[in-house]
Amino acid sequence: MDSRFLDLGTCVCRLSASEEIQDAMRHYVSPFLVSAGIHEPPHLTVSVERDAATVAQVRQSLADLPPTTVRTSHPEQRYRIWIIEDREILLPEHAADHVIIRTPGLVAVAAERACVAATIGIRVVRQLVMRGGEVRGGRCVHAAAVDIDGRGLLIAGHPGSGKTTALTHLIEDHGARPVSNDRTALIPTDTARWHAIGVPLAARFTPEGIGGSPTLTAALNHFEPSRGRHLVDGKIELTPWELATLFNRSTAPVTEVAHLVILTRSAQVSVGERDGDFVQHHLDFGTEDFFADDWLNLRSHLSEALPEAQSAGDDLWERLAETVSVLPLAWTDPAELPRIAATAYRRVQT
């Protein structure tokens, strides 16, 4: 297996996998790739391989043992978990195609098919970004992020507020580099600022959003997305690598946040204080966030491995509102979104 290093902004991991699996995972992890030797030893190794024999062997060995617990990793994915001394063995509840074994310093994924191994490997990396961010005193926020000449811009708002369309115009019309589409890990720095890190997820575009982008419209006339052309919740999905490639804009794995734009689809801008409560109302995923579950039980290991480990605290939203410029913007007609994006761009440039 080949080994590569990923600087996830929240921790550093070694990714060991075959070239076939590495190529499949690059759609999501390519922004984080770094050369070996740049960093200190990695905080954790992720091993991903196609190994049907191991899957069968593990399933057989646990067939007569009741699981210790059950955890949910995804809306449609639950794992039965056996905890044996310092090992946690995870088997999917309704599938028989892979196994995850977590030991101190290692998460090993074995699957019957390479495509399944790559999918699970991506989910493991995603957990490292999110759980590592929490251990460093941050959290995931419901916002897109771009980097504009080294300055970060968060674009927040409730579903339907135009985040993805504004993001598209910032990239296409103003040369911004994408960081994330809908979920961003936000962590405090030791200089009282914030780093935004893209959680590796596919970006979702409505057909109308695609139609409003000349670049995407032209590209999708001849380009086949890796996730197909089927609609998910009425939207087309593009991986981070596809988004960067189609727009010819390299993805920024991390950016220092300078401004926060909060979008609302309404006739006027929200009135009231732009304080922590206001920011939380628009950025917090809330208690229904299924990505919040630490289904790999990584927090305890990362808390020991990361010297900068700290608690997020209850004042995160207040600190964010006090240290980042907050600009609410309202619109009623989708035709206004290019102007909204231009306004946000000018704010970052001033």
Domain shared by 162 and 308, yes or no = yes
pLDDT per residue as tens digits for the range 166-219: 999 999 999 999 999 999 999 999 888 999 999 999 999 988 889 999 999 999
Domain shared by 146 and 188, yes or no = yes
Per the CB < 8 A criterion, the answer to whether 12 and 306 are in contact is: no
Helix pair 276-283, 316-323: axis angle to 10 deg: 110
Domain shared by 124 and 186, yes or no = no
- Separation CA 62–CA 60 (nearest Å): 5
- Separation CA 350–CA 348 (nearest Å): 6
For the residues 8-17, what does the mean pLDDT come to?
94
- pLDDT of the residue at 227: 83
Q: Which of 178, 181, 51 is nearest to 109 (CA)?
A: 51
Q: Give this prediction's pTM.
A: 0.93
Domain shared by 55 and 179, yes or no = no
Output the six-digit token pair for 198.
């893209």
Per the CB < 8 A criterion, the answer to whether 98 and 69 are in contact is: no
- pLDDT of the residue at 306: 82
| DSSP letter (8 states) at residue 202 | -
Per the CB < 8 A criterion, the answer to whether 91 and 85 are in contact is: no
pLDDT per residue as tens digits for the range 89-135: 999 998 889 999 999 999 999 999 999 999 999 999 999 999 999 99
Of 135, 153, 168, the position where a domain reaches its end is 135
- pLDDT of the residue at 38: 60
Q: Which of 260, 258, 244 is nearest to 180 (CA)?
A: 244
Helix runs in 190-336, H state only: 207-211, 214-219, 240-247, 276-283, 299-305, 316-323
For the residues 291-310, what does the mean pLDDT come to?
86
Domain count, the chain: 2
Beta strands 177-180; 151-156: pairing state? unpaired
Of 110, 135, 160, the position where a domain reaches its end is 135
Domain extent at residue 22? 2-135
Domain shared by 207 and 300, yes or no = yes
Strand ranges inside the chain, DSSP E? 2-7, 12-17, 33-34, 44-50, 69-74, 77-84, 87-92, 98-103, 106-111, 139-141, 143-148, 151-156, 177-180, 184-188, 194-198, 203-205, 236-238, 254-265, 325-331
- Separation CA 350–CA 337 (nearest Å): 20
CA atoms within 13 A on the CB side of 234: 4
pLDDT per residue as tens digits for the range 65-90: 999 999 998 877 899 999 998 999 99
pLDDT per residue as tens digits for the range 132-148: 999 999 999 999 999 99
Confidence of residue 231 (pLDDT cuts 50, 70, 90): confident
- Separation CA 75–CA 94 (nearest Å): 13
Domain shared by 102 and 62, yes or no = yes
Domain shared by 154 and 21, yes or no = no
Of 135, 162, 182, the position where a domain reaches its end is 135
- pLDDT of the residue at 233: 78
Q: What is the mean pLDDT of the chain?
A: 92
For the residues 236-241, what does the mean pLDDT come to?
93
CATH number assigned to the domain comprising residue 215: 3.40.50
Domain shared by 315 and 275, yes or no = yes
Domain shared by 169 and 260, yes or no = yes
What's the maximum distance between 2 C-alpha atoms anywhere in the chain? 65
Domain shared by 251 and 337, yes or no = yes
pLDDT per residue as tens digits for the range 29-39: 999 998 765 65
Domain shared by 329 and 303, yes or no = yes
Domain shared by 28 and 41, yes or no = yes
Number of H helices and E strands in the chain, helices first, is 11, 19
Q: How far is CA 7 from CA 22, 108, 165, 170, in A?
A: 16, 19, 29, 26
